[in-house]
Amino acid sequence: MTTRAKVHNTTIELVNSDITKQDVDVIVNAANSALAGGGGVDGAIHRAAGRDLMKELRERYRGGCPTGEARITAGYNLPAKFVIHAVGPIYRNVDNPAELLASAHSYSLKLAQENNAKTIAFPAISTGVYGYPMKEAATVALSAVSAYIKKHQPDFELVRFVLYSANPLKNPMTIFSQALADLIDSDEVVQAL
């Protein structure tokens, strides 16, 4: 199942797939603030990219990355040229989770734009062990991406959300699809495809 919408010349797409297999310019990693690798999406991206990814992170970003920001590395063994390591909030540990989650998405798009990326794939940042409720995260993520595209008019052809869950009770595709439909209904710039 794939769901799509258009914001200016950029297609926003939702797919149920493996983020490490995406043939895009940039894969966004749901990273921790230490940029130290971890489980879930972070662990899968590190395993697929190979050891050089961690080596570059240690050499370039010794201080890690603040929540709501992102850092960029090469993609190494991934199909993507770059990996953007976005640090989303731990939901219960901050007063402003929506602001920080939106910022992690906007910061990632800014880095992608600065590196001339045309295609980018996001996971559902902060919705795993960081505990961000999927419905709220979907609304924040899609709104942040749409707002960035409208404001900055980047040359992105595609912004893809790669949504996967082994747990059928936590179906991110259904939740993100509804959030995208709600965004289309509330914003004349966002068009259904």
Q: How far apart are CA 82 and CA 114, in angstroms?
A: 12
Mark 70-103 as b/e (b = at least 16 C-beta within 10 Å): bbbbebbebebbbbbbbbbbbbeeeeebbebbbb
Asked if residues 157 and 119 have their Cβ atoms less than 8 Å apart, the reply is: yes
State which amino acid sits at residue 64: G
Task: Give which of 16, 27, 2, 15 is closest to 192, Cα–Cα.
Answer: 2
pLDDT digits (tens, 9 = 90+) for 127-172: 999 999 999 999 999 999 999 999 999 999 999 999 987 665 668 9
DSSP tag of 24? S
How high is the pLDDT of residue 2?
65
Indicate left, alpha or beta for 8 from its phi (over 0: left) and psi (-120 to 50: alpha): left
User: Other C-beta atoms within 10 Å of 32: how many?
Assistant: 20
**Arithmetic mean of pLDDT, 117-122:** 98
And the tokens for 96? 């402003």
Judged on CB neighbours under 10 Å (0-12, 13-18, 19+), 163 is: buried
pTM of the complete model: 0.96
pLDDT digits (tens, 9 = 90+) for 33-91: 999 998 899 999 999 999 999 999 999 999 999 999 999 999 999 999 999 999 999 99
Q: Which helix (H) or strand (E) holds 83?
A: strand 82-87
How high is the pLDDT of residue 1?
56
